[in-house]
């Protein structure tokens, strides 16, 4: 039971405080903080505690237009020391920006804050927000909890490579628990933009090229963050982003315009968003760029017609950073007043601003007749409803002692380690070089600047990490083999700096540096020498973490710097080489794929990455991850996807380029294992169905090896004919399964309306065609085991 009343000074307020505490049965230490905060809340003007929707309406009725505009404004709050040799980014005045925000807090000018993770600081700012608001409305705190807060999980593209929604959900549940413990109510994640051009740096934040896989990953992340109800104490609001089409930027250049056909939008780029909304996501973030000539953040079609009217979304929409102001930059809005009016009319409820928000001009827009106050009220209501559901009117402050306990929970590190193990993708393993047998090795050479870089091991898009607990690849190998095997390390080559620095370099430790006195030639030779003397060389290559992510697009997919040269020299030493790739996008591995016997993609594996990699290298677990994208041979092939449509001379599909095969280096869904698997007895339970029916596909999977291992069973379909050309293959089902040595299991999939329907440009609607369908089941998108079924009228 909850007390539903308005707090007022005096004994009545104290009585309500006691009622809420008693009925919620909080832990004694929690109730002490709760009681203190509630008594502080009743001082001065009236405060709402446990609110109802009608009380929210009452609040809105009491608010001035300026106060309403404040509730629709989210400020960054930066307190950043200047980093030596790093130019300021984001146009932030480190001294003035926090003062501007605190001034706005004191005059009801802030509805939400972001970029604060210290619970004591969150409490201080929350008190400023409540005391500065005559109605006592608390602030909503958001943050980029992309793949962990303190415990860093593998980067999102790696989690997608697990092809395991349960692992993904567990990981984001840990992230949510840590975030909520420090006072963060809402995460700007998951990023669910389909990415088909690996030059785009934000491919690392998503689930790759496929809408079916992307939708499954989106649902798992939303459920991980929010659980069944984001009002629960260990959950946060999920904010899928960036709506919509952001991943299709021209040339893979972040922020550049996007032009997508309706076919592409409805069949490829929108399905993950609809899945996230159906899963209950409480927030959606806008995209920066123009979509078909209209800035996405000003598109009423996207946020009102599609998101709310068609899909029934009842949460709130936030702009990306400065995206409302950018409506003026785009040449779409005449000025900031016009920009604010257009955005809120489009359906953007909350403006994320660094300074001088456009929504601060909404009172002027109402006075000019550019937007109605009813439209503003609707947005305010959605923001306040989120605060109500989170319980912020009841309990706006953070239990700082509990925050420390949660952040230190060792169970979280275990979740991170298992996620890293399940995300790794074995790309090559000639002659069974892996797993390594520690008992037969006397020495191991570990080579490459990324092999012992704690900061790069956890990847980009993390800010509240503890490098002291991060396990590098070198740490993991040494910890695994102990003193029985000599492990020597050489950096080998210098770190590489970006031509144009990353905006994230302004955060301490994000810009890689060579050790003092680094001698490039001597270090290169030392690396080759220790490799030549070792029984096996583990070489780690990839991109430094500040080379990928936002504002980190590339014109090349080559290994930066002298890494390929170093790899070639180590291979030439004659020592067996295991290549580990630390990355968030496919890189040019053509030479390695021909000359290196074992290659494993470990991504940016997170806090426990080195421990997970060691377990994989020495066979404590078998790799079972699969690629969430087609791996191109070279940047000249991109974009390359498996789900293309047939065209002229399909028999020459692999010969479209005259100088190199127009096929991927590794196909979508690909990944090897230390086990081996056979697929047999592929059947459908009925050969013919009508458009409103469904059938079951069954296949027998057998582990033909002598060890336990995982396989991801994948189902693909192709519609042979109909009212539109359909892709040669489309993923429509997958299941990761663990099989013991020699074990067989029957795996089943359902194919019905959700799997067979597509958006058709001829009729401008979703259809299921009468046709014959091919079905393939196997371990990747080149599966050979096949059968058919038909969809008929009756």
Catalytic residues: 320
SS3 205: helix
Cα–Cα distance, 117 to 111 (Å, whole number): 17
SS3 503: helix
Other Cβ atoms less than 10 A from the Cβ of 358: the count is 30
Q: What tokens were used for 715?
A: 């189902």
Pick left, alpha or beta for residue 549 (phi over 0 → left; psi -120 to 50 → alpha; otherwise beta): left
SS3 748: strand
SS3 355: coil
Q: Which residue has the tokens 């069944």?
A: 228
Burial class (CB in 10 A: 0-12, 13-18, 19+), 693: middle
DSSP 4-29: --EE-TTHHHHHHHHHHHHHHT--HH
List of long-range contacts for 593-597, beta carbons under 8 Å, 24+ apart: 593/427, 593/428, 593/665, 595/568, 595/571, 596/428, 596/567, 596/571, 597/428, 597/429, 597/430, 597/431, 597/433
What is the C-alpha R_g of the chain?
A: 27
Q: What is residue 248's DSSP assignment?
A: G
Cα–Cα distance, 723 to 763 (Å, whole number): 9
378-219-621 Cα angle (round to 5) = 150
CA atoms within 13 A on the CB side of 139: 38
Note whether 358 and 343 are within 8 A (CB).
Answer: yes
Nearest to 768 by CA among 696, 697, 714, 693: 693
Cα–Cα distance, 158 to 140 (Å, whole number): 30
Q: Which residue has the tokens 């069949």?
A: 267
Q: Which secondary-structure segment (H or E) carries 125?
A: helix 119-131
Nearest to 757 by CA among 766, 745, 770, 748: 766
Cα–Cα distance, 635 to 587 (Å, whole number): 9
Note whether 777 and 682 are within 8 A (CB).
Answer: yes
Residues 6+ apart with CB under 8 A from 182: 117, 118, 119, 122, 149, 398, 403, 407, 464
Q: What tokens were used for 547?
A: 């080379």
């Amino acid at each position: 039971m909850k007390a539903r009343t308005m707090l007022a000074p005096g004994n009545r307020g104290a009585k309500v405080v006691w009622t809420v505490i008693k009925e919620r049965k909080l832990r004694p230490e929690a109730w002490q903080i709760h009681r203190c905060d509630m008594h502080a809340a009743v001082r001065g003007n009236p405060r709402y505690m446990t609110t109802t929707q009608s009380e929210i309406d009452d609040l809105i009725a009491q608010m001035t237009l300026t106060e309403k505009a404040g509730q629709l404004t989210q400020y960054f709050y930066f307190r950043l020391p200047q980093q030596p040799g790093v130019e300021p980014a984001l146009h932030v005045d480190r001294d003035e920006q926090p003062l501007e925000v605190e001034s706005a807090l004191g005059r009801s000018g802030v509805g939400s804050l972001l970029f604060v993770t210290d619970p004591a600081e969150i409490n201080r700012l929350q008190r400023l927000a409540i005391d500065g608001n005559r109605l006592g409305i608390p602030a909503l705190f958001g943050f980029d909890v992309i793949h962990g807060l303190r415990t860093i999980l593998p980067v999102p593209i790696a989690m997608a490579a697990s092809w395991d929604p349960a692992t993904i959900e567990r990981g984001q549940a840990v992230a949510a628990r840590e975030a909520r413990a420090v006072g963060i109510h809402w995460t700007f994640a998951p990023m669910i933009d389909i990415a088909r051009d690996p030059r785009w740096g934000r491919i690392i934040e998503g689930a790759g090229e496929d809408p079916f896989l992307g939708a499954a990953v989106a649902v798992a992340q939303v459920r991980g963050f929010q659980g069944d109800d984001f009002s629960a104490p260990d959950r946060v609001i999920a904010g899928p982003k960036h709506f919509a089409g952001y991943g299709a930027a021209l040339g893979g250049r972040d922020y550049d315009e996007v032009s997508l056909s309706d076919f592409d939008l409805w069949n490829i780029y929108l399905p993950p968003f609809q899945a996230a909304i159906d899963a209950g996501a409480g927030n959606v973030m806008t995209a920066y760029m123009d979509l078909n000539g209209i800035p996405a953040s000003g598109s009423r079609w996207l946020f009102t017609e599609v998101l709310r009217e068609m899909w029934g979304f009842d949460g709130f929409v936030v702009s990306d950073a400065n995206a409302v102001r950018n409506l003026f930059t785009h040449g779409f809005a005449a000025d900031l007043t016009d920009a604010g009016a257009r955005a809120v009319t489009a359906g953007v409820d909350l403006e994320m601003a660094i300074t001088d928000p456009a929504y601060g001009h909404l009172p002027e827009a109402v006075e000019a007749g550019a937007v109605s106050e009813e439209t503003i009220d609707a947005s305010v209501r959605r923001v306040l409803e989120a605060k109500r559901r989170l319980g912020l009117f009841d309990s706006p402050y953070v239990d700082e002692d509990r925050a420390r306990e949660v952040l230190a929970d060792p169970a979280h590190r275990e979740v991170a380690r298992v996620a890293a193990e399940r995300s790794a993708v074995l790309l090559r393993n000639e002659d069974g070089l892996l797993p390594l047998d520690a008992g037969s090795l006397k020495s191991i050479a570990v080579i490459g600047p990324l092999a012992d870089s704690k900061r790069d091991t956890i990847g980009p898009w993390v800010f509240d990490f503890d490098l002291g607990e991060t396990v590098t690849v070198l740490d993991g190998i040494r910890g695994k083999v102990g003193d029985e095997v000599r492990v020597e390390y050489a950096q080998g080559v210098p770190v590489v700096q970006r031509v144009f620095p990353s905006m994230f370099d302004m955060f301490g430790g994000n810009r890689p540096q060579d050790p003092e006195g680094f001698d490039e030639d001597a270090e290169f030779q030392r690396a080759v020498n220790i490799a030549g003397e070792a029984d096996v060389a583990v070489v780690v290559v990839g991109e430094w973490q500040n080379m990928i992510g936002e504002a980190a697009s590339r014109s090349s997919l080559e290994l930066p710097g002298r890494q390929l040269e170093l790899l070639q020299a180590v291979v030439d030493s004659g020592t067996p080489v295991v290549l580990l790739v630390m990355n968030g996008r496919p890189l040019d591995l053509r030479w390695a794929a021909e000359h290196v016997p074992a290659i494993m993609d470990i991504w940016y594996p997170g806090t426990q990455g080195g421990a997970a990699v060691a377990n994989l290298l020495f066979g404590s677990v078998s790799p079972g991850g699969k690629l969430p994208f087609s791996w191109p041979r070279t940047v000249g092939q991109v974009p390359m996807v498996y789900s293309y449509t047939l065209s002229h001379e399909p028999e020459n599909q692999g010969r479209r380029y005259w100088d190199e095969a127009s096929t991927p280096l590794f196909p979508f869904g690909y990944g090897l294992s230390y086990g081996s698997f056979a697929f047999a007895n592929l059947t459908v339970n009925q050969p013919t169905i009508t458009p409103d029916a469904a059938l079951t596909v069954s296949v027998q999977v057998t582990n033909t090896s002598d060890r336990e291992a995982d396989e991801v069973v994948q189902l693909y379909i192709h519609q042979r004919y109909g009212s539109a050309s359909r892709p040669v293959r489309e993923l429509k089902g997958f299941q990761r399964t663990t099989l013991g040595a020699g074990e067989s299991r029957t795996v089943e999939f359902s194919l019905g309306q959700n799997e067979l329907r597509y958006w058709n440009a001829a009729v401008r609607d979703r259809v299921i065609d009468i046709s014959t369908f091919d079905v393939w089941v196997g371990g990747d998108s080149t599966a050979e085991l096949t059968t058919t079924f038909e969809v008929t009228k009756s």
